[in-house]
Structure 1
Amino acid sequence: MQDLAIWYEGTALAGALRGSGHLYMVVNAAHILGIGLLLGAIIPLDLRLVGIIRSGPIGIVGPFLSRTAGVGLCIALLTGGSLLSVSASEYLRNDAFRWKMALLGLGMLTIAAQHGGGRWRRAVETGVPDPRTRFLAALSLMVWLSVLLSGRWIGFL
């Protein structure tokens, strides 16, 4: 894994980001935007599915928030992968980064479990999430907040 990290640090992308403070700043800001879109959509969606928030029909807010979270996740993954190139070897040695990657994987598995099968579609169509959908929403909420916290933790280790 270290060899791959060293190769990634030698790419043109890594060189461009290291060579331009402005480019690094823009990519970093885009990463924050992606995180904001992801969490800004997933938190109210999960709270609605769990039943803590009761207003807003799931059939209306669910698809919009789900797509917004998806866009945010794509932005965060693309920009995060770019930022990783600057110091991949160092990040791989950071416990918080490794936790973040594991939790990120769990978050994406949670998304796949939530949207796989017909439960999500039924919740959107009927406005009534079943117990599994509620459980996955609660898990999603905990996982994505943990991804956020572990990401912030990176800079302190």
Structure 2
Amino acid sequence: MIEQALVSIENLAFVSALRNSIFMYPLVNAGHILGVSLLVGGIVPLDLRLLGLWRKYPVMVFVDVLRISAAVGLALAVVCGALLFTTAAPDYATSPLFQAKIVLVLLGVLNALAVGRLMKLRDIRSFPMRAPMPVVLRVGGLVSLAVWISVLILGRLLGYF
């Protein structure tokens, strides 16, 4: 039943047009890459700051600016990624690489929400600049780095397997 639904999605007229277009598919793919770039480009500097780099800058400078670009990147990556998924839905849905990627994306989002909540609970705005981050925030940053780098690797591997 699920496979039938996936095949039906793959056979929709707009999905077929997307899959066969010499312009639209590459543009959607580029949108996905741009979204991932904004997401990871926003997350990695913040994670590195949580881990202790750039201590002369308040962590909230990173949070205030990079949280927005990461959120926009996530939204763009999800929308474009969903469109890419529809072009080969049954294949992607049964791929262990794709399944692992989606689980890690969810884990990354949950981790980001948890770290944001912890920052608010610990009143990170008043935290001394040069002081090391609390261990729980450093762990959150480390988990984030591992998760998002793994998502990137799995995404690239999907194109080859």
TM-score normalised to structure 2 length: 0.87
Q: For the aligned residues, what is the CA RMSD?
A: 1.9
For 1:120 and 1:10, locate their aligned partners in 2 and report how far apart those are by CA, in whole Å.
Answer: 48
Equivalent residues in 2 for 1:73-112 (5 A)?
Answer: 73-112=74-113
SS of equivalent residue, structure 1 residue 51? coil
In structure 2, relative to structure 1, the CA distance for the partners of 1:8 and 1:135 (3 Å cut) is: same
User: Is residue 107–residue 144 contact of structure 1 (8 Å, CA) maintained in 2?
Assistant: yes
Amino acid at match of 2:115: Q
For 2:26 and 2:145, locate their aligned partners in 1 and report how far apart those are by CA, in whole Å.
Answer: 29
For 1:59 and 1:115, locate their aligned partners in 2 and report how far apart those are by CA, in whole Å.
Answer: 11
The reply to whether residue 152 of structure 1 matches residue 156 of structure 2 is yes
Q: Which residue of 1 aligns with 2:135?
A: 131
For structure 1, the residue ranges without an aligned partner over 5 or more in a row are none
Q: Percent of pairs identical after alignment?
A: 36
How many residue pairs match? The answer is 157
For 2:41 and 2:50, locate their aligned partners in 1 and report how far apart those are by CA, in whole Å.
Answer: 15
User: Is residue 34–residue 71 contact of structure 1 (8 Å, CA) maintained in 2?
Assistant: yes
Q: Which residue of 2 aligns with 1:64?
A: 65
Report how far residue 118 of structure 1 moved: 5.2
In structure 2, relative to structure 1, the CA distance for the partners of 1:58 and 1:120 (3 Å cut) is: farther
Amino acid at match of 1:29: A
1:113-150: CA deviations, max 9, x gaps? Answer: 11235547722443564221221111011100000001
1:69-108: CA deviations, max 9, x gaps? Answer: 1111110000000110000111122221111111111111
User: Is residue 123–residue 130 contact of structure 1 (8 Å, CA) maintained in 2?
Assistant: no
Larger Rg: 2
Amino acid at match of 1:24: Y
Where in structure 1 do 4 or more consecutive aligned residues deviate above 3 Å? 117-121
For 1:55 and 1:12, locate their aligned partners in 2 and report how far apart those are by CA, in whole Å.
Answer: 54
